[in-house]
Structure 1
Amino acid sequence: MNTTYLSLEIKRILRSPQFTIFTIGMPVVMYLLFGAIFGDYVLDSGLHSSTQTMIGMAAYGASGGALFTGTRVAQERTDGWQRQLRLTPMRGPGYLAVKVASAMAVALPVLVVIFLVGFLRGEPLTAAEWGRQLVLLWAATLPFAVLGLAIGLFGKGDTVGAVTGALMMPLGMLGGLWIPLEILPGWMSAVAHFMPTYWLRRVGLDPLTHTSGTWVAAVVLAGWLVVPALIVVRRFRLDTARL
């Protein structure tokens, strides 16, 4: 992996006003809003509703940040950047690895900021729980980074942003990231199981509720990682073969 290119890519993303406003700012505002609406009552799982909302918004922000990396990939395809790759020492796998790594790097500060807000708000987690949930959620964001890359390789620079934004709404709402599933209609809980964001949420919540089955969420997310990864490799090979 070209670390110089990776460093430049991360700096370019972090300096973007859109990153600060939409990727970090919106989940924080939604956490504070929904946390105030649903109060601090204890759910059947034994977890405070505000804590569950914090985990959901952290997952929403991190997955959204990873997905939106695809918009940059689409723009680079439109601008002919992949043609330039053939004139540089960096090859396709290195380019793809940098894009996934930059998406993961974008997801981390989103989690840190939302967890910091939750800490200041007084969420009842121990130091070990804060650290564990941060690591687990960050690792579980990887499938969304690859999925965003797949979207970027199929779309165009002027449309991928809108498509990704439209995709994040059902992923957040139906995946149970916005509102605790315990207070939603039963059919929404059933639909949630088909959303990768539901399993990302499970990775963040199961250890806190002492619920067994986190491994199931890990297996499902692994499937959401492998399938888009195969699509990415295939699509990238077809793109470069046409250049």
Structure 2
Amino acid sequence: MNTTYLGLEIKRILRSPQFTIFTIGMPVAMFLLFGSIFGKLVAPNGLPADVQTMINLAAYGASGGALFTGTRVAQERTDGWQRQLRLTPMRGPGYLAVKVVSAMAVALPVLVTVFVAGLALGVHLTAAQWGLVLGSLWLGVLPFAVLGLAIGLFGKGDTVGAVTGALMMPLGMLGGLWIPLYVLPDWMATLAHFFPTYWLGRLGVEPLAHAGGLGPAALVLAGWLVVPALVVVRRFRLDTARL
């Protein structure tokens, strides 16, 4: 993997106003809103609602940041940048690896920023708990990075952003990251199990709740990782063959 290209990719993302406003600012604003509404409740797993809301909105922001990798990939395909890269020593696997790693890298400041907001609003966790939740969520973002890459390899530069933005709404709302599922109808709680964001939230909560959900969440997210990864490899090979 070309570390120079990786560094440039991360800098380009972090300097984008859209990254600051939407990827970081929106989850923080939503946490402030929903935290004030549900903060005094106690979830069925025994966690204060403000803790679970913080984890859920951090998961939402990080997954969205990773998913939007596809926007840059699609734009590069449209502009012919991928074709230019093939004239350099960088090979296809290296290019794909840079995109996935950069998506993981930009998810980290999203998680940290939401956690800082939670700390400022009085969320109390031990240092070990903060670290476990952060690590669990960050690793759980990997399937979304690969899924975003798959979307970008199929879409066009002028449409993938809108498609991804539209996709994030059901992922957040129906996946149970916006509003706690225990205050919603039972059918919505059942439906949430079909969304990867639900399992990402479970992965983040498990270090605190110890409800036995770590194994199922990890298995489901592994499935969401493997299938898009196979799609990415197949699609990239087809693109390479055509160019």
TM-score (ref. length: structure 2): 0.99
- Distance apart, 1:120 and its partner CA: 1.2
Distance 2:179 2:116 in 1: 20
1:186 aligns to what?
A: 186
Distance 1:39 1:154 in 2: 41
**How do residues 228-239 of structure 1 correspond to structure 2 at under 5 angstroms?**
228-239=228-239
2:97 aligns to what?
A: 97
1:226 aligns to what?
A: 226
Secondary structure of the 2:4 match is helix
- Distance apart, 1:83 and its partner CA: 1.1
- Distance apart, 1:210 and its partner CA: 1.6
Secondary structure of the 2:21 match is helix
1:199 aligns to what?
A: 199
Secondary structure of the 2:117 match is helix
1:42 aligns to what?
A: 42
**How do residues 121-136 of structure 1 correspond to structure 2 at under 5 angstroms?**
121-136=121-136
- Distance apart, 1:34 and its partner CA: 0.4
Secondary structure of the 2:194 match is coil
Unaligned runs of 5+ in 2: none
Secondary structure of the 1:44 match is coil
Task: Kindly indicate whether the alpha-carbon contact (under 8 Å) linking 1:202 and 1:217 is maintained by their aligned counterparts in 2.
Answer: yes
**How do residues 1-243 of structure 1 correspond to structure 2 at under 5 angstroms?**
1-243=1-243
Distance 1:222 1:45 in 2: 24
- Distance apart, 1:135 and its partner CA: 0.6
Task: Kindly indicate whether the alpha-carbon contact (under 8 Å) linking 1:82 and 1:240 is maintained by their aligned counterparts in 2.
Answer: no
- Distance apart, 1:42 and its partner CA: 1.6
Letter in 1 for 2:44: D
Letter in 2 for 1:94: G
Secondary structure of the 2:225 match is helix
Task: Kindly indicate whether the alpha-carbon contact (under 8 Å) linking 2:61 and 2:110 is maintained by their aligned counterparts in 1.
Answer: yes
Distance 1:57 1:199 in 2: 13
Distance 2:153 2:232 in 1: 7
Distance 1:90 1:71 in 2: 21
- Distance apart, 1:209 and its partner CA: 1.2
Secondary structure of the 1:4 match is helix
Unaligned runs of 5+ in 1: none
Distance 1:69 1:129 in 2: 29
Distance 1:154 1:71 in 2: 11
Task: Kindly indicate whether the alpha-carbon contact (under 8 Å) linking 1:62 and 1:111 is maintained by their aligned counterparts in 2.
Answer: yes
Distance 2:110 2:46 in 1: 26
Q: Deviations over 1:193-233 (max 9, x none)?
A: 00000000000112211201311100110000000000000
Distance 1:108 1:66 in 2: 10
Distance 1:191 1:155 in 2: 27
Identity %: 79
Task: Kindly indicate whether the alpha-carbon contact (under 8 Å) linking 2:203 and 2:213 is maintained by their aligned counterparts in 1.
Answer: no
Distance 1:236 1:65 in 2: 22
Distance 1:221 1:110 in 2: 20
Aligned residues: 243
Distance 1:41 1:225 in 2: 34
Distance 1:237 1:50 in 2: 45
Moved more, 229-238 or 36-45: 36-45
When the two chains are superposed, the root-mean-square deviation of aligned CA atoms in Å is 0.7
Q: Deviations over 1:58-115 (max 9, x none)?
A: 0000000000011000000000112112210001000000000000001000000001
- Distance apart, 1:21 and its partner CA: 0.2
